Amino acid sequence: MNRLTSEELREKFLKFYESKGHHIIPSASLIPENDPTVLFTTAGMHPLVPYLLGQKHPEGTRLTDVQKCVRTGDIDEVGDDSHLTFFEMLGHWSLGDYFKEDAIRWSFEFLTSPDCLGIPVEKLAVSVFAGDETAPRDEESARIWEECGIPRDKIFFLPRKNNWWGPAGLTGPCGPDTEMFIDRGYEKCSEDCSPACDCGKYIEIWNDVFMQYFKNAEGKYEPLKQKNVDTGMGLERTVCTLNGCKTVYETEAFTNIIAKISELSGKHYDDDEATTKAFRIVADHLRTSTFIMGDPRGVSPSNVDQGYVLRRLIRRAVRFGMQLGMPEGFTAEIGKVVINQYAEVYPELKQNENFVLEQFKLEETRFAR
């Protein structure tokens, strides 16, 4: 497997899909413009819903991007090895253009080609939809994977909770997906060991969603007039896996932030379990808060909607920062590190730097009061 930085993975992914006729589009705002059912952009497909439903996209029917995402549903889990509230999602789309055949073959090429991720075929496993009363078993995806070179015993048919995506809100486009995993070579935990287990043998790095249905307000699934492909590869998790890191916090996405927390607190990331957890929460929450406030449609902390979530993130970071003995004004200091690290990829952070740092100082003062 090729060891890659976040920057190298972004570049390889976009160039690969550009070579397959996709137009590179910029990340949309973290604050959704066309979906009142959610507070933040939670997935790469979110900003593209109108086009997945048939509206013509100005850049054509094949698109690729790196989308900023925020998910705060499991905020209390942050501090463990894998949960993040902000992440980057590498994606490509077919808006009524190609479907399963091309999507899967290109995924296989990107995963295994020495010029891309260079993952040996024997280290891969995939899952496909097992079928239920709303949609049939996905034998077509299984056949294509097998033709690519994935052995049948590494192709798992799993139920809806594992291999169905969407909709992102209460209603919208959705469909079966096929997910791609690294097999870490551990012994099977049981006869039924599969990517659905929590045993750690398989780590998911990518999924291809085949949007064939629209879930309406009554909860019924209607066939979409336009079949689409939506695909998402979590940047942080993939870099972590390729580089053999134990957690995302060991990747270069977090090393500068964690070094700054260490400098300000006088403590070390791995001093003990409680310290490690506090470091992770401070790093994650302040990275996310910087992106929310630095967004082109950025918000400030408040008691409603996005502002309430932002306030909760900052205050939780301050609480854990106090446990670490961080000095007053530390949130803005961490904010500066995040801005400098990502300014080249997301120039809006630098453009909104003064606003971001001012909001950190104000919220920290309010909370201390």
Beta bridge partners, 23, equal: 63
CB atoms within 10 A of CB 327: 10
Location of structure tokens 């990275």: 287
Q: pLDDT of 311-340, one tens digit each?
A: 999 999 999 999 999 999 999 999 999 999
Q: Please report which confidence band the pLDDT of residue 1 belongs to, taking 50, 70 and 90 as the band edges.
A: confident
pLDDT tens per residue across span 163-215 = 998 786 788 888 999 999 999 888 999 989 999 998 889 989 999 999 998 98
Q: Residues 53-64: what's their mean pLDDT?
A: 95
DSSP string, 199-263: SSSEEEEEEEEEEEEEE-TTS-EEEEEEEEEEEEEEHHHHHHHHTT-SSGGGSHHHHHHHHHHHH
Upper half-sphere CA count for residue 112 (Cβ side, 13 Å): 17
167 cis-preceded (ω within 30 degrees of 0)? yes
Task: State pTM to two decimals.
Answer: 0.92
- Predicted pLDDT at 208: 96
Cα-Cα end-to-end distance for the chain: 51
Q: What is the amino acid identity at position 141?
A: S
Position 178 scores a pLDDT of 98
